[in-house]
Structure formats: structure tokens, C-alpha cells
Amino acid sequence: MYQFSRAIYREVADYIDPQVVCQGVPGHTHVLRSCETTIERLTTDRHYFARPARTLFSDIRVCFPMAHQPRVWLIVQRYITAVDQYLARQPLAGQPQECRATTRRGTACQRTPLHSNGYCPSHQHLAETEEVEATPIAA
């Protein structure tokens, strides 16, 4: 997903005021970090991120002169819309990357699942039982 955050940064980098320091770091660094943070949150917490374009623009607008802010807003809005459309087409987009199984204590398994069925390698046997149980019901 870094290709999206880097694309936003590359397109707005020419408009950044070189003398601006945001939160103790140069403006270019602040804009790049903000783009990466927004895209990362959009991929992991998409359904609970109400206005990602507005959030990103609010974070980075201080790094741009007033004359360039409308252009930067259009760039941010266009790319965030593209990212949202891309994630909507992905099968597991916006879902937490945790195994669907629970442990013996009743807590959720914390391992990363395989994309084929949502279970980690330790819980693959649960996916096989789902397929077996689903077959008689359909017949």
C-alpha cells in the first residue's frame, strides 16, 4: 500500500514550503509520515475511518502556502478515493488480520491467517470441518 502514500507525497512534494517545520521535523518528512499513517489506517481500520481525505489534509495543510492548498486538497481527495475503491475490491480489505479461531481460553487467536480461508496454519483443520458440515446442509 506504500505505492499510494508515496504517490500522494510525490504529487504534493513540489508545493511544500521548504522552510516549514511541523512537530519538530521538516515539512517533507511530516507530509510523508502523515500520508503513510493515513493509508495504513485506511487499510487496517477502513470501516471506522469516516473522513480519511479530510483527516490527511488537516494533518498536512500547515506545510503548504495558502495559494497551493486547494490543489493539494484535490490531490489528496483523488488518491484517497482511489485507495478506497481499490480496498473495496479486495476480498479481505478492512478486516482485521487475525485468525478466525479462538483459543482454549476463549480469546481470539492472534496469528496471521492465510488468505484462502481466514485461519492460521495451526487452525487449518477448522476450515476442513466447515466444508464437511456445509455439504450435508446443502444436499
User: Where are the chain's structural domains?
Assistant: 2-89, 96-139
**Which pLDDT tens digit goes with each residue over 81-124?**
999 998 888 765 555 577 878 888 888 888 877 767 778 888 88
Give the predicted TM-score (pTM) of the model.
Answer: 0.65
Mean pLDDT in the chain? 84
pLDDT exceeding 70 applies to what percent of the chain? 86
Q: Which of 38, 95, 99, 32 is nearest to 63 (CA)?
A: 32
pLDDT higher than 70, residue 137: no
Tell me which of 65 and 89 has the higher pLDDT. 65
- Going by C-alpha positions, the residue among 96, 91, 95, 100 that lies closest to residue 118 is 100
Lowest-pLDDT choice from 47-51, 52-56, 63-67, 130-134: 130-134
Describe the crossing of helices 27-44 and 2-12 by its angle, rounded to 10 degrees. 150
**Set of cell numbers at residue 114:** 492465510
Distant-in-sequence contacts of 42-46, Cβ < 8 A, 24+ apart: 42/80, 42/83, 42/84, 42/87, 43/1, 43/87, 43/93, 43/94, 44/94, 44/96, 44/97, 45/94, 46/84, 46/87, 46/93, 46/94
Please compute the mean of the pLDDT values over residues 60-79 and round it to a whole number: 96
